[in-house]
Amino acid sequence: MSVSTAAPAQSVCAPLPVLGRDVTVPLVTGGEVTYAALDYAASAPALQRVWDDVAAYAPYYGSVHRGAGYLSQLSTDLFENARRTVAEFLDCRPDDQLVFTRSTTDSLNLLARALPAGCQVFVFETEHHASLLPWQDARVTYLDAPRTPRQAVETLERALADRDPHGPALVCVTGASNVTGELWPVRELAAAAHAHGARIVLDAAQLAPHHPVSVRDLDVDWVAFSGHKLYAPFGSGVLAGRADWLQAAEPYLAGGGASRRVTRREDGGVAVEWHESAARHEAGSPNVIGAYSIAAACKALTEAGFDTLVAREQYLIEKVRAGLAEVPEVRVLSLFGDDAPRVGVISFVVEGWNSSHFAAALSAEYGIGVRDGLFCAHPLVRTLLGTDPQTQGECGAPEAAPGEKSLNAIRVSFGAGTPDEHVERFANAVRELVADGAKWAYRTEEGRCVPAV
């Protein structure tokens, strides 16, 4: 998987319109400034196009799969059309199933519940907790963090060569790291998995908003992602891929919608015949607006063109990296090195600063929203920060167990809706804070660093 090199600034397209682009926030030093949302990796702002589409549908909202009325039929058609739209966005195979869930976390927990008996799972310690933790009830092999894409493939090949060749196996891998932004060699990992009789699920939460994701081209068995990272609000996600394990599993949730037929048994119990379609794992009233918002985002990104979006994002990446490179006290975190292709996610630490303190100052004094901490990828961030102890007791310093180091980092992330001014303000703010220090005093409140008042 490769990333396009950006064109010169004057030929890079304008950002896509998003909600909140004109919101102003107060500064502790006085006055207001337009908020610079640079935490896309947590939740991207909704595209204006998505919001407009949802607003146009909202008056026609009705129950899904449950009613004979016009609005119910309209909402049902919209929900199922959304399923087809997202499947096209992912370039799914004809016999794949696409299940709407609440999030990437929900999708991967659903798949974990559908694993065949005795399934072995292989997962790198570098994964987000959403893809690291759902496999606790399976036989899990955790793989050490690789330092090159080639090493990732070789590590997986060795682990798979040692597995029981007669049982089912699943590999779980991210497409783009939520900590470093680096792209993983998904196609090569999929080939390694299949060569050893294993299947593979792709966590595309950080990849799908930035790059096209083709189930067929990458040759993955499943893909999972979240709407809230794809510029689509309302708490919906997707699990798409092979139908057999999903059809053979007990429903993720038991209830209406998942059941085709329910009868009383002679012994007084209840007999249930479950659906074999995606409805099997969509019990209850579905989040039709969440599904519709994902489909609207898929359409908007497709129409904007990923070649154009990738070029613009690469331009922003280079601006941020160039700005950070001007500050010797900044160390950018990386597994694969400076030349590794990546999406708009960059994490770093600043010598002499606790990361929570630095992030608080960016917000309070510059109106810039970033993320600090371990980013729900604790093993990875601890590996990357293993040699960087931070002073305990400093404002916002996270608690550490006795004998452990207090560790956290800062993450800046951006995407299709980010204007140049936001990343330029960020780079200037980093330089000023390192050179001059914070202008305001800060204190710790409930574990967070906040301005002292």
- Examine the pLDDT at 373 and tell me if it is beyond 80: yes
Q: Which of 92, 172, 376, 449 is catalytic?
A: 376
Instruction: Tell me what the mean pLDDT of segment 413-442 comes to.
Output: 97
Task: Report the interhelical angle of 288-304 vs 48-57 (nearest 10°).
Answer: 140
pTM, two decimals, is 0.93
Q: Computed over its alpha carbons, how large is the radius of gyration of the chain? A: 23
The pLDDT assigned to 66 comes to: 76
Distance CA 178, CA 42 (A): 9
- Examine the pLDDT at 439 and tell me if it is beyond 90: yes
The pLDDT assigned to 2 comes to: 39
Across 401-410, 417-426, 428-437, least confident range = 401-410
- Examine the pLDDT at 353 and tell me if it is beyond 50: yes
Beta strands in 206-365 (DSSP E): 222-226, 237-241, 259-264, 270-274, 330-332, 345-350
The pLDDT assigned to 10 comes to: 42
Beta strands in 56-158 (DSSP E): 97-101, 120-124, 139-143
CB of 201 closer than 8 Å to CB of 231 = no
Model confidence at 119, pLDDT cuts 50, 70, 90, reads very high
The pLDDT assigned to 3 comes to: 38
Read off the pLDDT of residues 126-137 as tens digits, 9 standing for 90 and up. Answer: 999 999 999 999
Q: Which two tokens stand for residue 5?
A: 């090199």
Model confidence at 4, pLDDT cuts 50, 70, 90, reads very low
Distance of CA 148 to the CA centre of its chain: 22
- Examine the pLDDT at 282 and tell me if it is beyond 60: yes
Largest CA distance in the chain: 80
The pLDDT assigned to 233 comes to: 93
Across 93-97, 189-193, 282-286, 325-329, least confident range = 282-286
Distances from the Cα of 425 to the Cαs of 27, 432, 442, in angstroms? 14, 10, 21
Model confidence at 8, pLDDT cuts 50, 70, 90, reads very low
Read off the pLDDT of residues 34-52 as tens digits, 9 standing for 90 and up. Answer: 999 999 999 999 999 999 9
Reply yes or no on whether 376 is catalytic. Answer: yes
DSSP state of 4: P
The pLDDT assigned to 7 comes to: 40
Which single residue is written with the structure tokens 């597994």? 335
Which single residue is written with the structure tokens 């595309």? 204
The end-to-end CA distance of the chain, in Å, is: 49
Instruction: Tell me what the mean pLDDT of segment 242-246 comes to.
Output: 97
CB of 413 closer than 8 Å to CB of 342 = no
Report which residue type is found at 336. Answer: F
Read off the pLDDT of residues 251-280 as tens digits, 9 standing for 90 and up. Answer: 999 999 998 899 999 898 999 999 999 999
The pLDDT assigned to 9 comes to: 40
Model confidence at 73, pLDDT cuts 50, 70, 90, reads very high
Q: Which two tokens stand for residue 214?
A: 């083709």
